[in-house]
Structures are given as C-alpha cells and as structure tokens.
Amino acid sequence: MKFGILALSLMLFTAGQTAPAVQDDVKKELDKLQGNWAVTTFNGQAVPTEAGAYLVFKGDKYEQWNNGAVDERGSIKIDPKTKPISVDLIITEGNDAGKTQPGLYEFTDADTLSIGLAMAGTTTRPTAISQAEIQVVLKKVAK
C-alpha cells in the first residue's frame, strides 16, 4: 500500500513539474508570433504588398486581413513539442466559422514565418509544410 501512495505522489509531482514547462514553451512560441505578418507568398505565388494580406496575432487569437478588412478571426492552439510546430486555427468568424484548420509552422528567421495548412474542416494535419494544401510565407511588419 505504501508503494501505491509513493507512486501516486511521484506521478502527481511529475505532472506538476511538466505542466508549467509545457505552458512556458507554449507562451514562448506565442510570444514569437505576436504582431503583424504580411503574406509574401501564397502557394508559391508572390503576393503584392498592395493586396493588404496580413495575419495578426494577439495572445492566442488571430485575425486574417485582406484588402484592409478582417475576413476571418479565431484562436490558435500550438504544440511546440513537434517540429515543425503543430498549429490549429480554430475559426470563429468568417466563411469557415465553426471549423478547425490544422497545420504546421516554422520560423526561417525571426522575421519570416512559413505555414502549411490543410483545408478548414479537415482533420488530417499536413506531414510537412511543403506538402500542405495551403502554403504561406509571411514577413513580420510594423503596422
């Protein structure tokens, strides 16, 4: 019986130690995403700056802007333990409201972000950014 209590105590202690570490990793990754990101390429095609295509991250929320107006909003869920990092866009406003869009992302450098996404509503995450149905490259901008 003492072994059971000791094992349970050890499991609770370990769980308490890993949960904050995972939360810290998520926060660090979310911090890197914060701000305004201009879409520079979409599925390999250059996107002109005047198109006004942006992703804006604030906390765990995002907005997608096109031509000066928001056309999608939602929240993001990330798993920093995966490489590239797994991301789920949980769409709350826009044409795909109520759907989740799974994907992957990685930073090329501090100001360049590559994202590969499945179609909204799909449950299968892409296995690589280069193999995703939607491939977007973004540059951090001041807006």
> 46-90: per-residue pLDDT in tens?
999 888 999 999 999 999 999 989 999 999 999 999 999 999 999
Report whether the peptide linkage leading into residue 84 is cis, meaning its omega lies within 30 degrees of zero.
yes
CB 78 within 8 A of CB 59: no
Residue 71: which of 55, 57, 60 has the closest Cα?
Answer: 55
SS3 59: coil
Structure tokens given for 53: 């295509």
CA distance between the termini of the chain = 62
Q: Choose the CATH number for 2-141 among 2.130.10.10, 2.40.128.280, 3.40.50.970, 3.50.50.60.
A: 2.40.128.280
In this structure, of 4-13, 27-36, 63-72, 128-137, the range with the lowest mean pLDDT score is 4-13
Q: What is the pLDDT of residues 79-135, one digit of tens each?
A: 999 999 999 999 999 999 999 999 999 999 989 999 999 999 999 999 999 999 999
What residues contact 71, with CB distance under 8 A and at least 6 apart?
64, 65, 94, 95
The whole-model pTM stands at 0.81
* Cα–Cα dist 75/70, whole Å: 14
Residue 32: which of 124, 142, 140 has the closest Cα?
Answer: 140
Structure tokens given for 71: 């056309």
